[in-house]
């Protein structure tokens, strides 16, 4: 299943994508793809319903909202691709590096990214994003994780490197500006991904800026696998339905170039992950 939220900001309705171009609304079954509804069995309700005779709508007629409504946590794994760790000049970590972003950074997959006032170091980061299906705490092993994953989506973990690195090195400061986490266009459930022949641990992912390929890698370069990261997080934090986990970015970020290639405003970012989809963001300056 492909889970989506379609409509203008604050007016999105829950939907299921049924083809490359069409979706059906399911707002009569659930109020939204949200933490509360997921905790109350939203996925099972929609999965068990007969959607075949519902009127179809064209995806092109609607804005894509964030595919999960108002997540309570956005958790990120840093330095989790071997080649990215190398380009930053940092050693590969012995354990996953975990940090948080403000939940209000999450926006629709194709919404605008806003460069903050006076920023000279706003950066892009393609990431495979995992959305949690149900409460997860103190999981016994990485092998137990699969049952807690709602699905996978495309994320841009936008970063302001001056605030992240040079202002006392607290990453959350460089990660939490408004609009700094576009997600979408939809969530692909794990069974759907597998049925289409894709493995989350072996997906191509890329990011282009104005048509120039900046990032082009594969999740097989992850230092810590997806299930390992989620298991690890549950050892010290309770995950809730709808929580978002960005699993790391590969090499090719703006700060990795010499000279550096940061976002200035006016660019178009295209972010793609194999088997999931593509999001496209225009970059504007704060007014």
Q: What is the pLDDT of residue 97?
A: 95
Same domain, 91 and 226: yes
Q: What is the pLDDT of residue 174?
A: 94
Cα 244 to chain center, whole Å?
7
Q: DSSP string of 110-169? A: TSPEEEPTT-S-EE--EEEEEEE-S-B-S-S-GGGGGGGEEEEEEEE--EEHIIIIISTT
Same domain, 139 and 28: no
Q: What is the pLDDT of residue 186?
A: 98
Same domain, 233 and 187: yes
Residue 44 lies in a domain: yes
pLDDT digits (tens, 9 = 90+) for 149-170: 999 999 999 999 999 888 877 7
User: How many separate domains does the chain show?
Assistant: 2
Same domain, 9 and 112: no
Which candidate, 148, 157, 164, 97, places its Cα nearest to that of 129?
157
Q: What is the pLDDT of residue 90?
A: 80
Same domain, 25 and 90: no
185 prior amide bond cis, ω within 30 = yes
Q: What is the pLDDT of residue 167?
A: 82
Same domain, 88 and 55: no
Same domain, 213 and 151: yes
Same domain, 9 and 129: no
Q: What is the pLDDT of residue 233?
A: 98
Q: For residue 256, what is the domain's CATH number?
A: 3.90.850.10
At which of 24, 40, 61 does a domain end?
61
Same domain, 78 and 213: yes
Same domain, 125 and 57: no
Residues in the chain, pLDDT under 50: none
**On the CB side of 251, how many CA atoms lie within 13 Å of its CA?**
14
Q: What is the pLDDT of residue 91?
A: 83
At which of 40, 61, 82 does a domain end?
61
Q: Which residues, including other chains, have CB under 8 Å from residue 95's CB and lie 6 or more apart?
A: 224, 232
| C-alpha–C-alpha distance, residues 275 and 273, integer Å | 6
**Domain range holding 19?**
2-61
Same domain, 86 and 138: yes
Residue 68 lies in a domain: no
pLDDT digits (tens, 9 = 90+) for 3-34: 999 999 999 999 999 999 999 999 999 999 99
Instruction: Report in angstroms the alpha-carbon separations of 153 from 117, 145, 162, 182, 226.
Output: 29, 17, 28, 10, 13
């Amino acid at each position: 299943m492909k889970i989506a939220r379609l409509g203008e900001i604050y007016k999105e309705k829950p939907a299921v994508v049924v083809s490359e171009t069409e979706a059906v609304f399911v707002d009569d079954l659930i109020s939204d793809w949200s933490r509360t509804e997921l905790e109350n069995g939203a996925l099972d309700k929609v999965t068990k319903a007969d959607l075949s005779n519902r009127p179809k709508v064209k995806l092109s007629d609607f804005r894509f909202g964030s595919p999960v409504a108002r997540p309570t946590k956005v958790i990120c794994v840093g330095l989790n691709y071997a080649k990215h760790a190398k380009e930053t000049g940092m050693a590969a970590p012995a354990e996953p590096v975990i940090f948080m972003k403000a939940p209000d950074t999450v926006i629709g997959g194709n919404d605008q990214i806003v460069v903050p006032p006076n920023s000279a170091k706003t950066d892009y980061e393609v990431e495979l994003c995992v959305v949690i299906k149900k409460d997860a705490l103190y999981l016994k092993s990485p092998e137990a994780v699969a049952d807690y994953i709602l699905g996978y989506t495309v994320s841009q973990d936008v970063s302001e490197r001056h605030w992240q690195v040079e202002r006392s090195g607290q990453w959350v400061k460089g990660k939490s500006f408004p609009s700094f986490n576009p997600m979408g266009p939809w969530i692909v459930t794990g069974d759907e991904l597998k049925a289409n022949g894709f493995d989350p641990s072996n997906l191509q992912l890329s990011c282009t800026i104005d048509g120039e390929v900046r990032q082009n890698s594969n999740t097989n370069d992850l230092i810590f696998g997806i299930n390992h990261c989620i298991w690890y997080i549950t050892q010290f934090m309770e995950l809730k339905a709808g929580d978002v986990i960005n699993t790391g970015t590969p090499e090719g970020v703006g700060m990795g170039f010499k000279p550096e290639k940061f976002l200035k405003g006016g660019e178009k970012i295209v972010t793609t992950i194999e088997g999931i989809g593509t999001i496209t963001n225009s970059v504007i300056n704060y007014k």
